[in-house]
Amino acid sequence: MSHPFEWLSLTSTELKEKLKELGEAPFRADQLLKWFCFGASPDEMTNIPKSLREKLSDREIGLLFYPQIVRKQQSSLDGTVKYLFEMYDGQLIESVVMKYEHGNTICVSTQAGCRMGCKFCASTLGGKVRDLSAGEILGQIISAQRDFGERISGVVMMGIGEPLDNYDNVMRFLSIVGSKDSLNIGYRHISLSTCGLVDKIEKLANENFPITLSISLHACCDEDRSRIMPVNNAWNIDKLLTACRKYFDKTGRRISFEYTLISGENDSVEQAKKLAQLIKKYFGSRPVHINLIPLNHVDERQFSAGSREDVKLFCDTLNSLHVNATVRRRLGPDIDASCGQLRHKASSNNDK
């Protein structure tokens, strides 16, 4: 599906061009970008002439849209806020704002739904409906920041969707979000998480965005990985880890691996040892970090999380073999803050 023309998807150079085309002064671009970052409607843009404000509201010209909050849940334990946003065409997606000591980080969605089919994940249950545009990814940060009332200084692309399956829009989003005229979020505070689309990882290595690449590995051998992640049939672990090593050698950016621990599937001590061997085989002494994530229960899936002790044992085994691993702190446990479930429930019940 092609997207309508959206103001929020433009880079500052493109916005200047667009203004010229509409017979407006290009210097208005800087003013407009400030208003866009604030999530302002045309009526609120007090220093913009009425003629231009009218053009911004004119659907024949284009769409100025910020994701609308349909539901909001706030954790009383750690301040995490989860938003269910509605897009211009009624699609629902989720974003989560997390408070860390070093600042607020948002987890954004990159697609409405997902077609990767990971067996433990809620986001893929209804398949992929459509890609999100660059402006819709940026818009999640803008709408959340406006509601949250504090600056958001970090982004993780770990919400609904596979970012590398929406490559061009995600690259466009990256070039806008880090630009000084826009939200000016530092690339070192941005992570992109992928289930392992190897051809796109190779492409990403040449883009020169100093972001953190996170790989959803979740298994220590092809047999285990193919069982839970269909993408492994297209690019197996050898292809994936070879691409990751090349990515590191090209960019110098430490790769981060995500490993969701699923009871009886991938969480034995034996599997931890195999994982350590695997990482050493491909990375040698290069720096790597493994993020262990205890599985979040998904009603429609039969998988469950192991005990706290199992998780600790898996982590300790990796560390004892000199592979750097930590267990991800679970934020917003009282609001079910992991992504995918709200969209799925709201879409299937049609209860907004």
Provide the minimum distance between the beta carbon of 223 and ligand SAH in the complex, in angstroms, as a whole number.
Answer: 18
Residue 339 is a catalytic residue = yes
CB 278 within 8 A of CB 266: no
Radius of gyration, alpha carbons of the chain: 21
One of 32, 158, 170, 279 touching ligand SAH (CB under 6 A): 158
Task: Give the single-character DSSP code of 73.
Answer: E
Candidate ranges 43-51, 176-184, 192-200, 310-318; the one touching ligand SAH (CB under 6 A): 192-200
Residue 202 is a catalytic residue = no
Provide the minimum distance between the beta carbon of 163 and ligand SAH in the complex, in angstroms, as a whole number.
Answer: 6
Find how far residue 11's CA is from the centre of its chain: 20
Tell me if 267 contacts ligand SAH by CB under 6 A: no
Site for ligand SAH in 330-349 (CB under 6 A): 338
Provide the minimum distance between the beta carbon of 260 and ligand SAH in the complex, in angstroms, as a whole number.
Answer: 4
Residue closer to ligand SAH (CB basis): 5 or 235: 235
Residue closer to ligand SAH (CB basis): 96 or 118: 118
Question: Is 272 buried (19+), middle (13-18) or exposed (0-12) by CB count in 10 A?
Answer: buried
Q: Which of 6, 24, 94, 136 is catalytic?
A: 94
Residue closer to ligand SAH (CB basis): 20 or 203: 203
Q: Which phi and psi angles does 320 have, rounded to 5°?
A: -65, -25
Burial code (b: 16+ CB inside 10 Å, e: under 16) for 300-309 equals ebebebbeee
The CA distance from 16 to 290, in Å, is: 43
Residue closer to ligand SAH (CB basis): 205 or 262: 262
Provide the minimum distance between the beta carbon of 339 and ligand SAH in the complex, in angstroms, as a whole number.
Answer: 7
Looking at the chain, how many residues does it have? 352
Site for ligand SAH in 95-154 (CB under 6 A): 118, 120-121
One of 95, 193, 251, 271 touching ligand SAH (CB under 6 A): 193
Q: DSSP secondary structure string, 246-295?
A: HHHHHH-PPEEEEEEE-TTTT-SHHHHHHHHHHHHHHHTTS-EEEEEEEP
CB 161 within 8 A of CB 128: yes
One of 258, 265, 275, 318 touching ligand SAH (CB under 6 A): 258
Residue closer to ligand SAH (CB basis): 145 or 296: 296
Helix (H, G, I), strand (E, B) or coil at 103: strand
The CA distance from 9 to 14, in Å, is: 9
Task: Give the single-character DSSP code of 328.
Answer: P
Provide the minimum distance between the beta carbon of 214 and ligand SAH in the complex, in angstroms, as a whole number.
Answer: 6
Tell me if 191 contacts ligand SAH by CB under 6 A: no
CB 189 within 8 A of CB 105: yes
The CA distance from 234 to 237, in Å, is: 10
The CA distance from 200 to 235, in Å, is: 11
Tell me if 195 contacts ligand SAH by CB under 6 A: yes
The CA distance from 336 to 75, in Å, is: 9
Residue closer to ligand SAH (CB basis): 64 or 121: 121
The CA distance from 326 to 269, in Å, is: 15
Candidate ranges 8-16, 55-63, 128-136, 191-199; the one touching ligand SAH (CB under 6 A): 191-199
Tell me if 271 contacts ligand SAH by CB under 6 A: no
Q: For ligand SAH, what does the binding mask look like between residues 211 and 250, x meaning CB under 6 A?
A: -----x----------------------------------
Annotated catalytic residues are 94, 339
User: Interface residues with ligand SAH (CB under 6 A)?
Assistant: 118, 120-121, 158, 162, 193-195, 216, 258, 260, 293, 295-296, 298, 338
